[in-house]
């Protein structure tokens, strides 16, 4: 087991909204962010210039590789509405599926795979899987 197998907390910064820019001093050294007089430390901080591929490769790929070895894996996105969770999560999901199905295509014909995925949203104390079509949201999937 390596340090990569432990829980890690990473964030992805996006540009500040114009009405929040004044008076904010954002200092990012790769693991610590300082906003005004408060300091926050994370395992990794992705800058505003990071790509979906960067985020997947450096934060999620190892989890997907462990899943391909038979372990469970979870990626949890948390933050306020409008901060980019869905954008980043959809990029991670797309790259994860590509990685999984590429692995499957390179496996021998004698190996069988079962692929299951969930994309849960918890909002206003309600939980729903965004990958499951429901009667409330028949056109979403």
Which residues sit in the known binding site? 79-86
Residue with tokens 């933050």: 79
Q: Can you tell me whether residue 68 is helix, strand or coil?
A: helix
Give which of 16, 34, 20 is closest to 84, Cα–Cα. 16
Element (H, E) at 70: none
Q: Can you tell me whether residue 140 is helix, strand or coil?
A: coil
Taking the C-alpha atoms of residue 19 and residue 17, their distance in angstroms, rounded to an integer, is 6
Strand-pair partners of 41: 32
Give which of 128, 123, 56, 121 is closest to 88, Cα–Cα. 56
Residue ranges for the binding site for ATP? 79-86
Q: Can you tell me whether residue 44 is helix, strand or coil?
A: strand
């Amino acid at each position: 087991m390596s340090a990569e197998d432990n829980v890690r907390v990473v964030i992805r910064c996006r540009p500040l909204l114009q009405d929040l820019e004044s008076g904010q001093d954002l200092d990012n050294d790769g693991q610590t962010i300082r906003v005004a007089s408060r300091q926050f430390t994370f395992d990794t901080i992705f800058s505003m210039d990071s790509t979906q591929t960067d985020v997947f490769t450096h934060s999620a790929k190892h989890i997907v590789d462990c899943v391909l070895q038979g372990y469970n894996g979870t990626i949890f996105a948390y933050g306020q509405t409008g901060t980019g969770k869905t954008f980043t999560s959809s990029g991670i999901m797309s790259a994860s599926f590509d990685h999984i199905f590429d692995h499957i295509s390179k496996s021998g014909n004698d190996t069988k795979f079962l692929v299951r995925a969930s994309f849960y949203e918890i909002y206003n104390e309600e939980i729903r899987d965004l990958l499951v079509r429901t009667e409330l949201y028949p056109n979403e999937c």
